[in-house]
């Protein structure tokens, strides 16, 4: 857990934003935001749970399932008066909905006719949640504040950066495990198992946490589909693989991708990897506090355009703490139109993946904006990996 | 992939239900349901994507992000006319929402004034999705059909059962790995790593898939909080742990829980475990096709009540294929008030976990309703495990 002072500071920053946006009451459904405000990290978000933040109260109020209330009490800084649970018959019921329970509480504590901020576009706040909220609070004014907590999270504290450094060490170790295990005759699932083992074991000094996105390691023509996971097919000589992984420490993430080949990579993959590497170098050179998100993308775009390449998707996004299904923070995207100004202690997944019809290359980094420029938190040599020295290579290429 | 005939049969069963419920068009956001209908399994559900089912069309129409369209084309039975993608600037944008793209498509294909079924209470269909849908389709009638596909999934085909048997083998292997690695001086994260390794590696014949809920292995007084995951604390003699895990094969799950102690378990844990074991035996004896969900729970309730025990939460729920954040199917719950009739080829996680203020016991099974009764798919001896023979025990207890 972070120091109580840090939680108080987070809550105060949030309240300032609430005042700015004219919101009296905030409903938080995003597990990442709940964790950020309270330290609650149990895998209970598959049932409805919510936090209520009011300007008056100096703690968030947690509402969730009965069997989870004790976990909140044991693992967060909230006192027991701020932990309210609904009975189990609210779970996945056709007759009762947990949000009805929440609106009753809001009415009881005199908040039913206020301006209520809602995370309208986060997973976990469903269409039915919204409908029940409207029905239960006819006198409230409801505002979409989907990213209000996320915006507070943008600039990390030193302890958060420390967590991300630990996460970076873990993803380095997981990428090593992938490199060590990829070989002719090994199955994709065996490599994925080795990755998971490294991710969760962590280091001798600290353990790893699960990552919010699973390892993704598509092969050959499937490298054009970055979100495929793995199969139990065996690697063959000449295969190439994009590996997009993360390390996680206490829910803080450091994602990183590399591209590897079993034996020699096809020349178009090698060529594209060189372009991506140059693009990253040039882009990193340009990043410093004060630059805008879209300007960063522009540098990258211009660099790869020299070689006739183009990337259709954003160049990256802010990262930090997260829960499934995403490790992005849903705030700043490095893409045209995003005029956000980069500031020290912001962290991004610089994601210069390029995907064409039948192949793709991914070499990515987690970066920290520093006072003077940028630091790459992930420290794993940037290059295309070819396992030329693997004993099986000789056998197949002879 | 399943045979094309099986996908067609699933789609036809779904259309029959759509007709029964008076729905012309169905919007499917639940990744489990999308996979069930198409075989699409990429980790792309962290951005909005949807399937449109109409009574007239003999294929679902997939709408999602541009970079994911190729993956749909490569891994599903849908033809390319049924794969439509939105540009990347729709992703996590304040100006544009993917559901606006969907409503435009619905309008283009002449479906904007129909009765449209929506999965109102599934993760991935957010409050904002609902609001944009309403705004984009002012002439449509919107109905909540949250579990319409899930209900089709209730009775499994033989191939689906085969997948769940494979998943059961994997969870047995993962539970073995946990037992083998739990020891004095081992960290919780090391045990979690061993579990993951076994889950993902699978067996020599087939690989494992990621599970929709991560391993949960709270220790000692935290066993009262079933959804806590793990820490990097080292086990000590006398610790006891509940392990709730699953195996997964091609997204099909077999969950299972056991309770283990390092050395001797406390007597209250032993006593409760015996009650749970008897409760399971008695309940399994009573389960056969034709029994109602609430009757199953009643048998369990009566059995443990003899010993003064009571469980506040449901006794189980249907399971099968799933994606994070839940491995439950959200259809039948074994609890009072659920009058669903159990039928052959339904599968459940029989979840007789009991959680008190400062300890809990979990011994659970994945079960299959057969023509004559019930079969336990998970075949791992049901008992409380005490690692008495571990070398460290002597050292610490001497």
Please check the confidence at residue B233 and state whether its pLDDT lies above 70.
Answer: yes
Q: 3-class DSSP state for residue A209?
A: coil
Tell me: pLDDT of B393 over 50.
Answer: no
Residues B235 and B373 occupy one common structural domain = yes
Chain centroid to CA B62: 23
Q: Measured between alpha carbons, how far is residue A83 from residues A56, A62, B227 in Å?
A: 17, 5, 16
Q: In what order do the strands lie in the sheet with A25-28?
A: A83-86, A61-65, A50-54, A25-28, A115-118, A141-144
Of B103, B119, B152, the one marking the end of a domain is B152
CB A329 within 8 A of CB A153: yes
Q: Look at the alpha carbons of B229, B235, B237, B243 in this order and tell me if their dihedral is positive or negative.
A: positive
CB A132 within 8 Å of CB A99 = yes
Q: Do residues A245 and A388 share a domain? A: yes
B35 in the same domain as B115: yes
Cα separations in angstroms, A140 against A49, A119, A129, A345, B238 = 20, 15, 15, 37, 53
Tell me, yes or no, whether B148 and B181 share the same domain: no
B16 shares its domain with B136: yes
Could you give the ipTM of this predicted complex?
Answer: 0.96
Q: Which residues pair with B361 in a beta bridge?
A: B354
Average pLDDT, chain B: 96
Chain A contact for B21 (CB, 8 A cutoff): no
pLDDT band at B388 (very low <50, low <70, confident <90, very high): confident
Q: Do B55 and B102 belong together in one domain?
A: yes
Looking at the complex, report in whole angstroms how far the Cα of residue A107 sits from the nearest Cα belonging to chain B. Answer: 21
Which segments within chain B are labelled E, that is strand? 25-28, 50-54, 61-65, 83-86, 115-118, 141-144, 240-249, 252-261, 316-319, 328-333, 347-350, 354-355, 360-361, 365-369, 374-376, 385-386
Q: Say what the pLDDT of residue A389 is.
A: 62
Let me know whether B138 and B167 are in one domain: no
As a whole number of angstroms, the distance between CA B260 and CA A219 comes to 40
Residue of B nearest to A124 (CA): B123
Query: Rounded distance, CA A73 to CA A71, Å?
Result: 5
Give the chain B residue nearest A88 (alpha carbons): B313
Range of the domain at A110: 4-152
B77: tokens are 């039975």
pLDDT band at B397, cuts 50/70/90? very low
Tell me how many residue pairs between chain A and chain B have CB atoms under 8 A apart: 234
Tens of pLDDT, residue by residue over B93-145, are 989 999 999 999 999 999 999 999 999 999 999 999 999 999 999 999 999 99
Distance from CA of A94 to the nearest CA of B (A): 10
Angle between helices A31-38 and A4-20 (to 10 degrees): 120
The helix or strand, by DSSP H or E, that contains position A368, with its residue range, turns out to be strand A365-369
Per-residue pLDDT of chain A (398 residues; tens, 9 = 90+): 999 999 999 999 999 999 999 999 999 999 999 999 999 999 999 999 999 999 999 999 999 999 999 999 999 999 999 999 999 999 999 899 999 999 999 999 999 999 999 999 999 999 999 999 999 999 999 999 999 999 999 999 999 999 999 999 999 999 999 999 999 999 999 999 999 999 999 999 999 999 999 999 999 999 999 999 999 999 999 999 999 999 999 999 999 999 999 999 999 999 999 999 999 999 999 999 999 999 999 999 999 999 999 998 999 999 999 999 999 999 999 999 999 999 999 999 999 999 999 999 999 999 999 999 999 999 999 999 999 865 444 333 33
Please count the structural domains in chain A.
Answer: 2
Q: Are both B114 and B173 inside the same structural domain? A: no
A173 shares contact with chain B (CB less than 8 Å): no
Give the CATH number of the domain where residue A245 resides.
3.90.230.10
- Mark which residues 71-100 of A lie under 8 Å from B by CB: 71, 74-75, 87-89, 91-92, 95, 97
Task: Nearest by CB to B225, from A74, A224, A230: name it.
Answer: A74
Sequence-distant (≥ 6) Cβ neighbours of residue A314 within 8 angstroms: A297, A333, A334, A335, A351, B88, B91
B222 neighbourhood in chain A, CB within 8 Å: 71, 74
**Residues of B whose CB is below 8 A from A91:** 313-314, 333
Q: Does A203 touch chain B (CB under 8 A)?
A: no
The yes-or-no verdict on residue B249 having pLDDT over 60 is yes
| Chain A from 246 to 275: CB within 8 A of any B CB | none
Interaxial angle between packed helices A293-305 and A267-286, expressed in degrees from 0 to 180 and rounded to the nearest 10: 140
Q: Which of A44, A189, A335 comes nearest B200 by C-beta? A: A189
Alpha-carbon distances, residue B398 vs B392, B393, B395 (angstroms): 10, 8, 6
Tell me the chain A residues in contact with residue B135 when contact means C-beta distances shorter than 8 Å.
none
Phi, psi of B347 (to 5 degrees): -130, 140
- Listed residues A132, A152, A172: the one ending a domain: A152
Residues of A in contact with B91 (CB under 8 A): 313-314, 333
How close, in Å, is residue A73 to chain B by CA atoms? 10
Cα dist from B145 to A27, B22, B132, whole Å:
26, 11, 18
- Could you tell me how many helices (H) and strands (E) chain A has, helices first? 11, 16
Residues A116 and A164 in one domain: no
Please tell me the distance from the alpha carbon of residue A85 to that of residue A42, in angstroms, as a whole number: 15
Q: Does B341 touch chain A (CB under 8 A)?
A: no
Strands (E), B170-223: none
Q: Using pLDDT thresholds of 50, 70 and 90, give the confidence band for residue B266.
A: very high
DSSP A235-252: P-TT-EEEEEEEEEETTE
C-alpha torsion A371→A376→A379→A383, nearest 10: -150
- Which chain B residue has its CA at the smallest distance from A210's CA? B214
Say yes or no: B317 and B365 in one domain. yes
Residues B281 and B381: beta-carbon distance below 8 Å:
no
Strand partners, A249: A252
B303-332 mean pLDDT: 97
Give the length of chain A.
Answer: 398
Instruction: Report residue A220: phi and psi, to 5°.
Output: 50, -125
Burial of B372 (0-12, 13-18, 19+ CB in 10 A): exposed
Print the SS3 string covering B31-82. HHHHHHHHCCCCCCCCCCCEEEEECCCCCCEEEEEHHHHHHHHHHCCCCHHH
Given B152, B187, B210, the domain boundary residue is: B152
Q: Contacts of residue B226 in chain A, CB cutoff 8 Å?
A: 67
Task: State whether B245 and B353 are in the same domain.
Answer: yes
Instruction: Specify the pLDDT at position A186.
Output: 97
Q: Please write the tens of the pLDDT for every residue from B157-169.
A: 999 999 999 999 9
Q: Nearest C-alpha of chain A: how many angstroms from B92?
A: 6
Q: Can you state the percent helix, strand and coil of chain A, rounding each to 5?
A: 40, 20, 40
The CATH number for A21's domain is 3.40.350.10
Residue A126 and residue B122: Cβ atoms within 8 Å? yes
Strand order of the β-sheet with B316-319 is B328-333, B316-319, B347-350, B365-369, B374-376
Distance from CA of B391 to the nearest CA of A (A): 22
Contact by Cβ (8 Å): B129, A123: no
What is the Cα–Cα distance from B46 to B51, expressed in whole angstroms?
15
Residues near B128 by beta carbon (within 8 Å), at least 6 away in sequence? A120, A121, A144, A146, B97, B99
Are B243 and B387 members of one domain? yes
* Helix, strand, or coil (residue A110): coil
């Amino acid at each position: 857990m972070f120091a109580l002072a840090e939680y108080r500071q987070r809550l105060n920053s949030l309240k300032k934003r609430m005042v700015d946006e004219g919101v009296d009451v905030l409903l938080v459904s995003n597990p990442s935001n709940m964790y950020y405000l309270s330290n609650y990290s149990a895998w209970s978000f598959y049932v409805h749970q919510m936090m209520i933040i009011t300007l008056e109260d100096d703690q968030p109020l947690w509402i969730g399932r009965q069997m989870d209330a004790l976990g909140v009490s044991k693992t967060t800084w909230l006192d027991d008066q701020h932990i309210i649970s609904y009975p189990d018959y609210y779970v996945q019921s056709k007759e009762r909905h947990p949000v009805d329970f929440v609106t009753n509480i809001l009415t009881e504590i005199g908040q039913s006719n206020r301006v209520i901020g809602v995370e309208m576009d986060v997973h976990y706040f469903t269409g039915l949640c919204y409908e029940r909220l409207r029905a239960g609070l006819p006198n409230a004014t409801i505002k979409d504040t989907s990213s209000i907590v996320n915006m507070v999270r943008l600039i990390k504290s030193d302890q958060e950066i420390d967590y991300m450094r630990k996460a970076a060490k873990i993803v380095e170790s997981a990428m090593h495990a992938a490199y060590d295990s990829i070989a002719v005759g090994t199955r994709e699932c065996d490599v994925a198992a080795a990755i998971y083992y490294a991710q969760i074991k962590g280091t001798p000094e600290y353990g790893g946490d699960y990552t919010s996105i699973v390892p993704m390691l598509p092969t050959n023509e499937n490298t054009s589909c970055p979100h495929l996971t793995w199969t139990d097919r065996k690697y063959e000589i000449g295969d190439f693989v994009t590996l997009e992984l993360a390390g996680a420490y206490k829910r803080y993430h450091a994602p990183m991708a590399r591209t590897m080949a079993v034996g020699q990579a096809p020349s178009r993959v090698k060529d594209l990897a060189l372009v991506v590497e140059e693009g990253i170098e040039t882009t990193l050179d340009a990043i410093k506090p004060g630059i805008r998100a879209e300007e960063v993308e522009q540098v990258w775009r211009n660099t790869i355009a020299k070689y006739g390449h183009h990337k259709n998707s954003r160049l990256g996004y802010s990262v930090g703490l997260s829960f499934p299904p995403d490790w992005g923070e849903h705030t700043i995207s490095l893409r045209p139109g995003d005029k956000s100004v980069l500031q020290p202690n912001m962290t991004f997944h610089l994601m210069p993946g390029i995907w064409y019809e039948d192949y793709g290359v991914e070499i990515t980094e987690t970066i920290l904006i520093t006072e003077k420029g940028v630091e790459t938190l992930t420290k794993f040599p940037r290059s295309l990996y070819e396992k030329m020295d693997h004993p099986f290579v000789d056998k197949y290429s002879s």
